[in-house]
Chain A
Amino acid sequence: MKILVTVKQVAVVEDEFEIDGLSIDDRYVTDDLNEWDDYAVEAAVQIREAGEDVEVVAVTIGDADTEDTIRQALAKGADRAIRVWDDALAEAGLLDPETKARLLAAVAEEEDPDLVLTGVQSADDGFGATGVTLAEKIGFEWAAVVNALDLDRKAGVAHVHRELEGGVDELTDVSLPAVLTIQTGINEPRYASLRGIRQAQSKELAEYGLSDLGLSAADVESPLEQTALYEPESESDATVFEGSAEETAAELAGVLRERGVGQ
């Protein structure tokens, strides 16, 4: 069995930041493995650890700077990795779910996985749509927002819980092959061990350009164009207490007592 896990390097923005054109100035940004994808990697590695003949392949779309992030997936247990990038992607601007799914679909066709795991969404642009779009493109069944997974390989079925709003889970049986988008909380992602980090350095990391995937620059032209980026106007009319912690706590205590709290 082969499991393809999609991972993304996301930008984490500091509390204070400045906007530079259509992005946030690099000085206020650090890179990290997308939180949702971390859970997807863990889900894949747990399946491999529980069964025989399971290979976990991590795939990312990103330039050379994202290599550290994909190596994190290798350090956590993925067997090998693929990084997709091309100069045409750097020039393409906004990579919308359709464009990303097109690239990942080409990788999936090459790899022929039985299961694809993705994070529900990415922490930066939060489209939340790439996994299901990919499923549609490659003709796989799917389930979005999965917070429990019980794989029955013999029957070719994934028994999943989908986390709906309001504290309700939907219980669904999904035929394999499938794409599952993984919600945080489904497991406890491991930290990469020193040994894992060392091993990751020697694992295979293949690099594909568009032509390697049978695609051309025309395939990554997005109809979506980002035209502005700005801080939303604060709608706050909160009374903010100023002073030392003792002073602000005292003021807040007064407000709370007025409302009958702690009496």
Chain B
Amino acid sequence: MTVLTVAEHRRGELRDVSLEALTAGRELADEAGVELHTAVVGGDVEAFADRLNREGVETIHTIDESEEFNHDVYVQAVAQLADAVSPQFLLLPNTVNGLDYAPAVASRLDRPLVTDVVDLEYDGELTATRELYGSKVETTIDVHSETPAVTVRPAEWPAATGTGDATVESFDVDIDESAVRSTVTGFEEVSGGDVDISDADVLVSVGRGIEEEENLDMIRDLAEALDATVSASRPIIDNGWLEKNRQVGQSGKVVTPDVYIAIGISGAVQHVAGMKGSDTIVAINSDPNAPIFDIADYGIVDDLFEVVPALIEQFEG
């Protein structure tokens, strides 16, 4: 039996979650006493296989189909490989593309699926840990199945290291072209103005807690007083209050400023993914349990409408 992970790549680059899934897979394989296999579908599979050849990986399956991700191809490729390898556990990335094919693969293979897991344990049965209600609580789920599928949250496991001596095997799949009913026609970078928040030394970042668009003026005043750039979490962008290129997070920009001041931002995992590399993180939020405080260096638990004017006063007064 095996643990089978599937790698992810985009525009020629292997994505980090591919190596993180190997670490999760290796831990699970050790607990269950099985081998670790990994697979990569499409692109420069030989080069990707080199990078996936880490300590503890027994076999790397390369599937030379399609240049970029296409879920119709991925579903068929991964399902056929799973039929051939019969892995006990199937580990896929909990990414935008992962969620575009993992549910279909799991359903097709009749495997129960647990998504966005942050921890896995095997004790004769798989127990997956996930978060609920926007990271406020964690839950454990026992999976009453011999052959589950899970998607692993990016950045929860360290990337696998060490050079492995895996066997690289090319796997031929038989793609039913009539079942390929979607076509990727291109990619587009988000746009909107000429500010590049990833260049800023100091970011004043605002979230849902600001409540009204008019209140952004106060944030702009603070940014001016601090000689900083304004950025935001997703809800502000969704509301159309700031341009898309100001969004920090998984689906926005990844930023690493010297100082990141998060105002009225709860710190959902998608946001944190975009700013946790900042040197100094400051959080201002009225909710003492907001996850943003878990990664902050300095915090103020108070009403931002009182703290921000006082802070402006400190620098202007």
Interface residues of A (CB under 8 A from B): 11-13, 15-17, 19, 22, 24, 94, 96-98, 101, 120, 123-133, 135-137, 141-145, 161-175, 184-185, 188, 222-232, 234-236, 238-241, 245-246, 248-250, 252-253, 255-256, 259-262
Contacts and interface: CB of A to CB of B under 8 A. Distances in A.
Contacts of B287: 15
A157 B239 CA distance: 28
Contact of B259 (A15, A130, A248, A261): A261
B96 interface: yes
A11 B134 CA distance: 11
B190 A133 contact: no
Contact of A248 (B237, B296, B307): B307
Nearest to A144: B100
Contacts of B71: 142, 144
A127 B138 contact: no
A248 B311 CA distance: 9
Contacts of B145: 223
Contact of B185 (A127, A129, A173, A239): A173
Interface string B67-96: 001011001000000000000000000111
Contact of A163 (B96, B259, B310): B96
A129 B115 contact: yes
Given A167-B251, A173-B183, A245 B132 contact: no
Contacts of A232: 131, 135, 137-138
Given A168-B189, A225-B142, A253-B311, A259 B183 contact: no
Contacts, number: 267
A108 to B, nearest CB: 14
B298 A255 contact: yes
A222 B114 CA distance: 12
Interface stretch (B21-29, B57-65, B221-229): B221-229
A180 to B, nearest CB: 11
- Main SS class of interface, B: mixed
A229 B139 contact: yes
Contacts of B113: 96-98, 129, 133
A136 B108 contact: yes
A161 B188 contact: yes
Contact of B227 (A166, A236, A262): A262
A227 B127 contact: yes
B107 interface: yes
Q: Which has the most chain A C-beta neighbours within 10 Å: B188, B237, B250?
A: B188
B300 A240 contact: yes
Interface string B41-65: 0000000000000000000000000
A261 B190 contact: no
Contacts of B293: 234, 236, 238, 240
A257 to B, nearest CB: 9
A19 B307 CA distance: 31
B299 A238 contact: yes
Given A174-B182, A261-B228, A235 B132 contact: no
Contact of B10 (A22, A142, A164, A223): A164
Contacts of B288: 15
